[in-house]
Amino acid sequence: MNQIVNGVLTIVSGLRQKERREFFARLVTSGILTQDEQDILVIESRRKAPTRPLDEFIKEMKKKGRL
């Protein structure tokens, strides 16, 4: 199993950014992944994303009428 995972990772890492996005989008929409597995993909993809204070977010949502 480890060899399969490593093989897939090698293939995916060789894809262009647009191809990787399409691959993951199709993987998610195909129904192959469980909801938990989809959540893990989202969490990992956003792990290094910039953050902002909660107060700032709440203020923005109120301004947009979402809170």
Condensed to tens digits (0 to 9), the pLDDT of residues 41-58 reads 889 888 899 999 999 999
Name the residue ranges covered by the structural domains of the chain: 2-63
9-44 confidence digits (pLDDT tens): 899 899 999 999 899 889 889 989 899 988 998 898
- Specify the pTM: 0.53
Contact 67, 58 (CB under 8 A): yes
- What residues have CB less than 8 Å from 67, skipping those under 6 apart? 58, 61
